[in-house]
Chain A
Amino acid sequence: MREILQELNQSVGVRGSSVVTRDGIVVASELTAELDEDAVAAMASALVLNTISTLQRVGFGGFTLYTIQASSGKMVVADAEVAFLVVVTDPGVNLDLTMVDISAASYRLKKRGRLGL
């Protein structure tokens, strides 16, 4: 799992990535030293779970991708079935390009999850 994250971290502008369970527990993490893995996991998990539970009230159901763009950074949370893939990027990165790598990593994580690896 770590190798998937390490590979993803080679993409332009990616500052780090981690795999987090739905209850905010870090399964694997490759974040730069300035990012605290537990804090990132807790916030990403709270963000997604609160958003999804709110959106269910308008009949939205589940999610596949959540991208958030702020003035000093960007974060992408992708659904990897058994867990979330959380990716933190630089503010200036073009997410259209990085998204291909994120989707590929998420797909590989899903596959591993299904195989129980």
Chain B
Amino acid sequence: MAELRQVLAGEPDNYPARRLLGQVYYLLGYHRQALALLEPYAQYNPWDDRAHEWLSEAHGGPGPSEPLILEQAVARTVRKGEFPVDVGWEPRAAYAERLAERPLSRELVVEVPSRLGLVLAQRAELRAAVWSGPGGTEMLERREGLTEENAVALAEVAATGERACLDMDIGRLERAIVSGPAGTVVVVGFANGTLVALFSEALRSRYADSQVTEALREAGVVAAETSRA
């Protein structure tokens, strides 16, 4: 956004940048700012139906994007414990009500990652299992041909998935499965870390996923209620 603002400061007639920044403001609920950008744009390009839709919604108040903004704001608060003081819409009371209705999240907690590693190691098709938590990355199990460096690579896969969930604003990563001709990777997000299990190509992704679920049960991993903040 800062870059777009910079572009517009130098070139106020850059209409593609004006439309894009106006759209971002509109989607974030900053309707006053969206109007200031989109009104001149709509005069420049009166055939852009979508921009006209945003304009009319922005003129009419919170518009249809409000439920989404509300939902995203609630999710962000639940995840990060931050109150979104920067939201540009008015109905704070609705936000407070929605947050109060939200139940405490139930997240999985792994007390002893090494125990999880031992249980996973009994699966013949497992090639590697990595635990990544606040204490760093730990190779729980590794089969022939894999090195400690591979543990770091697998932890990076989990980190990429976690980052994508945050960027997409779809909440906290719970599970990810990557399947390909050479194997299946299952990532499970916990309240206190992330597990990555790599299975050989012999195991289909759905079965790899159930192997992990079974291992979690055997290792005594439980869902625990955690506070919103």
Contact = CB atoms under 8 A, between A and B. Distances in A.
Interface stretch (B37-45, B89-97, B151-159): B151-159
A58 B164 contact: no
A58 B153 contact: yes
B68 A71 contact: no
A113 interface: no
Interface in B141-162: 145-146, 149-150, 153-154, 156-157, 160-161
Nearest to A42: B167
A10 interface: no
B84 to A, nearest CB: 15
A81 to B, nearest CB: 13
B176 A36 contact: no
Interface residues of A, number: 34
Interface in B120-148: 128, 145-146
Contact of B174 (A44, A62, A71, A96): A71
A33 B177 contact: no
Contact of B183 (A60, A72, A75): A60
B160 A74 contact: no
Interface centre among B180, B183, B185 (most CB of A within 10 A): B180
Given A57-B153, A58-B150, A60-B185, A68 B161 contact: yes
Contact of B157 (A51, A73, A75): A51
B90 to A, nearest CB: 19
Interface residues of B, number: 43
Interface centre among A62, A67, A91 (most CB of B within 10 A): A67
A72 B176 contact: no
Contacts of A74: 170
A34 B180 contact: no
A68 B168 CA distance: 11
A58 B130 CA distance: 13
A64 B180 contact: yes
Interface string A66-100: 11111111110000000000000001000010000
B153 A70 contact: no
21 contacts: A33-B65, A43-B164, A51-B157, A51-B161, A54-B160, A55-B153, A59-B145, A60-B185, A61-B180, A61-B181, A63-B179, A66-B177, A68-B176, A71-B79, A71-B105, A71-B170, A71-B171, A72-B71, A72-B169, A73-B168, A75-B168
Interface of A: 33-34, 36, 39-40, 43-44, 46-47, 50-51, 54-55, 57-75, 91, 96
Closest 8 CB pairs of A and B: A71-B171, A73-B170, A72-B171, A63-B180, A70-B165, A47-B164, A70-B170, A34-B68
Given A62-B181, A68-B175, A75-B168, 5 more contacts: A34-B64, A47-B160, A57-B150, A68-B165, A70-B165
